[in-house]
């Protein structure tokens, strides 16, 4: 099975239409090497300030290492800022025996952080695309989801970014993305409606233009026991 590494072109002129995402804004890592950032010590001091703000005694034993732990957790939770979505999708394979139907990966679990309250939302992503001659490794769709999820997000933006990245790099005949998630910013605070699910979708190409293909995608996602 032959593999092809496509060139990454972060400076490619955008041809995004009004209302569509500009690939230049999300296809590369979000954090540049020359971007000024606070030091780790400054970040830990910020955590200590927040602990004091809520009324905690930052000098008590249980909280002495909390600033360090929080910053380390941030390094993990937000690692998507340092990862490049294009690199994940650039390795493709051409040995498909002429396969011309769509490829669906269902139930990709993810956790992200709401950019409005910095509280988690979590759920599953379902992703399909109809390849043109070449396909991408199945795990890459899950990795792509994680890259975008491990940034501050809204569910709507996350859905659009995943679909647009696949569309931009793989150039398939169509992409379908459905995300279902529970948001702790509405389940554990505010209206406190535990168990409420939010669904977002994005369709391009043949999935957007052909309602029958949309329905077939949705039927496979739901499955016989859902």
161, 168, 183, 213: which one is catalytic? 183
Say how far apart CA 189 and CA 194 lie, in whole Å: 10
117, 180, 182, 214: which one is catalytic? 117
83, 87, 113, 114: which one is catalytic? 114
25, 72, 116, 133: which one is catalytic? 116
109, 115, 133, 156: which one is catalytic? 115
Residue 115 catalytic? yes
Residue 116 catalytic? yes
Quick one: 5 exposed, middle or buried, by C-beta within 10 A (0-12, 13-18, 19+)?
exposed
Q: Identify whether the C-beta of residue 87 lies closer than 8 Å to the C-beta of residue 144.
A: no
155, 161, 168, 213: which one is catalytic? 155
Residue 156 catalytic? no
Residue 83 catalytic? no
Number of residues that make up the chain: 226
- Alpha helix stretches (DSSP H) within 84-210: 85-89, 138-149, 155-170, 184-187, 205-209
Residue 126 catalytic? no
Residue 155 catalytic? yes
- Please name the residues in contact with 213: beta carbons below 8 A apart, sequence gap of 6 or more: 102, 174, 176, 206, 207
Residue 114 catalytic? yes
Active site residues: 114-117, 155, 183, 185
């Amino acid at each position: 099975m032959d593999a092809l590494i496509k060139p990454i072109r972060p400076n490619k002129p955008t041809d995004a239409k009004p209302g569509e995402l500009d690939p230049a804004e999300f296809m590369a890592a979000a954090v540049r090497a020359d971007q000024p950032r606070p030091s780790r010590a400054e970040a830990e001091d910020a955590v200590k300030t927040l602990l004091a703000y809520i009324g905690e005694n930052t000098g008590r034993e249980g909280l002495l290492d909390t600033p360090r732990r929080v910053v380390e957790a941030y390094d993990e939770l937000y690692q998507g800022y340092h990862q490049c979505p294009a690199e994940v999708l650039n390795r493709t394979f051409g040995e498909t025996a002429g396969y011309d139907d769509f490829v669906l990966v269902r139930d990709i679990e993810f956790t992200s952080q709401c950019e409005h309250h910095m509280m988690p939302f979590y759920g599953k992503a379902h992703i399909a695309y109809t390849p043109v001659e070449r396909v991408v490794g199945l795990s890459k769709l899950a990795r792509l989801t994680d890259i975008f999820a491990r940034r501050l997000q809204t569910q709507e933006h996350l859905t659009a970014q995943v679909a647009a990245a696949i569309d931009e790099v793989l150039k398939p005949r169509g992409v379908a993305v459905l995300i279902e998630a529970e948001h702790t910013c509405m389940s554990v605070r505010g209206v406190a409606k535990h168990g409420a699910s939010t669904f977002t979708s994005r369709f391009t190409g043949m999935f957007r233009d052909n309602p029958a293909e949309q329905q077939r995608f949705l039927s496979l996602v739901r499955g016989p026991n859902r």
